[in-house]
Structure 1
Amino acid sequence: MKNIGYKSMIGIMAAFGICSIFSTDFNLAYGASKPTVKVKLNHNTYFYNKAGKRVGKDKLLKNETLQINGSIEKLSEDKKYYFYKSRATINENKNYVYSPDELGLYAYKEKCWVPYTIIKGKAYYKTSNNRFIKVMNVKDINNTALLATSGTVKIKKNTVFYDSKGEPTKTKITKGKQFSVNKYVNLKPQMAINLGYYRVKGTNKYLYAYYVDKPRVPLEYVPKSTKSTYVNLMKNTVIYNGNGTVKLQVDLNHMPNSWKVDELRYIWNPSEKKAELFYHIDNSDPWENSRGGYISASDVIYAGGPKLLPINTPQTANTPQTAEKWQ
């Protein structure tokens, strides 16, 4: 019998409407290509074999892209290397956009990974021809930043350790020392200009991010757990009174630029003809001239504390007695 090629066989099956039934079996039988994912490198890298030994002299350069074997999977357990797959779209202002009836406003991230192989204690992604690259040399997966649960930082300027409240201690650290870190946290959410702190693994000591070279694969930035919710200013804007009049103009270069907030609600904007999200500034906020005001959620970034959900919907945002003044 004459040998029938893979493509010819698929064409015959499609003609009889049975391709969908047997396509998986034929992909396996005829060696169809395995799924791959695009990655971008954060560092020059070599290829390695399954024993973790360098193969040849070929080298990939920083910021090059390549395909690794595997597919993106939802992560059900902790892994050192992971990333977040967004469940929402992003508009031109880099804000997450949701359907009007979506209540889970902040449930927009799904923790994922592309399975990797551990060889002699190090993680590798498999590429073609049974070659491997180190996971730590990967910057992003499908244009989404790769994250790690731990890493190494190097002191770039003489500094000191900080305590769990973000206050400096008297213990000095000299330039050039390296530390293993396993947490990157905002210890002072009430401060708008704050680069965060790295926790030294196995201790309660912290390093201010300004004084260290960050890990090759970044750690996830974790807001400090507080009973109050804080937001920080991202761009110059205004704070409104409850009736829509301007209460205060604020900008990045002057205080206040961080607030304690207690409510998130949609307010109708007649000039834009749409409902927009606003935070209500707590009446106990440290900045007296800001208390009780409203600030656009698109002009600030969440800094810490419980994440607030809107108390209303866009459809119920048009309040006749106040809406006409919001323009």
Structure 2
Amino acid sequence: MKLFKKICIGLTALLLAASPILTHITNFQTVEAARKSKGKITLFKNDYVYNQAGNKIKLNVNHSYRVPSDFAVSPTGYLITDMKSDDLGDHRSSQPYYGTKKINGQKFYDLGHNYYVNEANVLKVKGRNVAQGTLTIKRDALVYTEAGKATGKKLRTNSVVKYQGKAKAATKTPKYFYYLRDVARYLQPQSIPTYKIKGKYFYSLGHNRYINAANVGYINGHLVRYNGTSTATVLKNTNSITVNYSEAKRKLKKGQKIKLDLAVIPYLSDGFDNYLYRLHGHPDEYVDATEIKLQRDLPVIDYRDLVYTYVMPVTDNSVELYDTSGKAIGKRIMKPAYSNLTVDGLMYLWVPEENKAELFYHCLNYSDAS
């Protein structure tokens, strides 16, 4: 999923001489070609690009400009990385780096020409996974002892620290967890050990040092998710929608705080773009990810698992069909090759022959019904 949507990039060469920033950017590849790369880095998410002082680089979006390969521009005009990955995040592009630098106490990778990325977003260096065994801090976090006493130390946003314990697959979804792949139909939660201190969940850093799990954004380079409800702020006046994008009656106002409890991978017709989020307490209403600012990331479910499921015939490879009056219509539906029957509902129908109500599945239509 893209963190930012690209804005239109002009190609007008006449403006290059008028803007030092434009010359700075368009000369990127020529100047850096003379430097020797230390290798390549791969990011687990795209983010802002910084200068050597640790400031985000902002471009003048009122003019046309060119952006080097693997970079883009946020809607607010900041330069961002744009390394590509497939929808499942399995295959990501890499980019040369020319060394590292400490900026304001944090490690940055030099992408050349005074462009830097924070190590908090780096997954691999020279093909080696450097995020494994680490936590990435998403907001300033105090460090505590096992007794819940503050040590006086604080980890700043984007700090990367080692944790104690081993990651493993969870048999049931824990309070804090992550997926190895977010955009996949069947998802098995992964987790690392947590410790309850004064009613809150903490991760161990070793040596009697702990941080609140709520302040951690990534584990091993994977987004941390919260198994519960999350507050979100509505970014513009809108309406809630159904999972099929039909507008619902509930009006949501800009600045309104709402509760959400599930992230839904929508029907993938043209590649994955954004999640839909379910309104807590309103199981048939959703809001698009672009219309909210979410406080905590939530468990993921696939659209198909919300609208239908699969059943297997227990006798043979076909089942008899009935109408809504509970009478057999003389047709059977065949089990599709390599899969089971697809259904989207369960209901009671009165069966005259048995003089009682029985449960029936509502089967979706198949071309091989006969």
* TM-score of the two chains, using structure 1 as the length reference: 0.46
| Higher RCO structure (Cα 8 Å, ≥6 apart) | 1
